[in-house]
Structure 1
């Protein structure tokens, strides 16, 4: 009888210890509910489904199922992968299409144009892409932290967090490069560095897509073709603007839209002092438009 009671006690302790993490407390449930009330989540239409550990998750199920303590953990994990795939699509659009073609043009142009293209590329990465990567990484980690066992803490290689960190680190590598128009080899060195980083980023993105993401089929041209055609129409109107300057404006507008729709309208907030992303408490007001204006001025 005593042995039987001990067995029952052990089973009970096992159940408490190993299932406690399957439940979110009220604070976390309320925080996730408040986050999902933000309008931006319903506008994320690029993902057909995501997969994690062999299981498929469909966006409408993740977003429309009522959040409670029992499903909060699973929803948090699924939404984190869903958000990661959304960001993967953005990075794929930029690196496999635009950045790759800019690098090609940097190499193929004559010295003066090659210099101008390279300088613009450095500005695009430093001023636009790196800050965007910082916001993306922060959003993924902030959402993942709702889970009782955040994978971005337990496993630093979770999804695209390491990739986003690598993109952030490109800025440090660029700062170490001293370019001079009197020494063209400095331009060649920086192009080689950016080309290698871009190539590695594209490889990682392809692996991530295969592992996690199934995108909605899309018949539209990639960004480079779309913007090239737009530029041809632009110069036909006798508007004089270098193609790379035109591209810089298009990339800036594209990234501003991404930050607005895929970050602030999803309910994330950015602290420009600590450069950290956080999710407001359920009682905090969320004004995506105001947050976007203030933060993008900082960026």
Structure 2
């Protein structure tokens, strides 16, 4: 009888310990989530009206202002991960509007106008832009989504990889270097340039199709009247005139660089994310060791993913 009481007491004590540990872990996650949402960048995200998840609609402002409760924590994490995915999909859609037009104009220079010199220069500039800016950007955005997803008890990336919206496509864009590293561009062989353009064009068309499918299921975007290509093209024509020449592509390249740097600042660092150059991973602030909230005032661009290099002859 005495042994039975000891056994019962031990079981109860063990259960209490398990329950306490589980609750402490959940409390830690709630505190970390609330800390992350203190970063001012969350209030400044404005590309998405709402997101849809399990037939429910969710608004970012409500998620920021509503205290995180125990039974809603995982749902809030999943919903915010989707919101990040929609935001980052919009970034890539904006960039693709420029990339697709650069490819179209480069092809026209080579095929129709027989302007091989400028056609090659435009292609070189595009590949350099992808290498130095778009690949590192995709690395950061995917890292942010995955780091946030890991707050969930059952991370999406682990159990539903093929249904994990946007992040797998960002990973493929990040790995475009697998295609680009194989390109050896030669000024003595114009087919190396046309082939590069076809490869890049096909690659991004497929990836944008995948992104758009994800967005249909989850995202309702704020309507826009124009895209980056039209906006920058109009600005250039207003300042310089109508010629599609090297000056235009230098102007366009600078615009894309500035846009990408703004995205990294406002949609990555200002949301509390930090890139670890040693591990190559994105990390989140914690209540025990938070990232300083003034980080947004001193964005460390020196700690970004390394670019890739493309061979030329």
Which residue of the other structure, out of 163, 171, 188, is the alignment partner of 1:165?
171
Unmatched runs of 5 consecutive residues or more in structure 2: 1-20, 110-114, 308-313
Answer yes or no: is the 8 Å Cα contact 2:273–2:282 preserved in 1.
yes
Q: Does 1:69 align with 2:74?
A: no
Answer yes or no: is the 8 Å Cα contact 2:277–2:305 preserved in 1.
no
Cross-structure match for 2:298: 290
Give distance in 1, aligned partners of 2:224 and 2:24: 38
Deviation at 1:23, TM superposition (A): 9.8
Deviation at 1:296, TM superposition (A): 5.0
Give distance in 1, aligned partners of 2:144 and 2:23: 22
Answer yes or no: is the 8 Å Cα contact 2:265–2:299 preserved in 1.
no
TM-score, normalising length from structure 1? 0.87
Give distance in 2, aligned partners of 1:81 and 1:59: 11
Q: Does 1:37 align with 2:42?
A: no
Cross-structure match for 1:248: 253
Which residue of the other structure, out of 161, 180, 183, is the alignment partner of 1:174?
180
Cross-structure match for 1:213: 219
Answer yes or no: is the 8 Å Cα contact 2:275–2:283 preserved in 1.
yes
Number of equivalenced pairs: 276
- Residues 119-160 of structure 1 show CA distances to partners (whole Å, capped at 9, x for unaligned) of 011011111111000000000000010000000121223001
Cross-structure match for 1:54: 55
Deviation at 1:293, TM superposition (A): 3.4
Unmatched runs of 5 consecutive residues or more in structure 1: 1-19
Deviation at 1:289, TM superposition (A): 3.1
TM-score, normalising length from structure 2? 0.83
User: Secondary structure of 1:285's partner?
Assistant: coil
Structure 2 matches for 1:85-96, cutoff 5 A? 85-95=86-96
Answer yes or no: is the 8 Å Cα contact 1:177–1:190 preserved in 2.
yes
Answer yes or no: is the 8 Å Cα contact 2:136–2:305 preserved in 1.
no
Structure having the higher Rg: 2
Give distance in 2, aligned partners of 1:102 and 1:22: 54
Cross-structure match for 2:238: 233
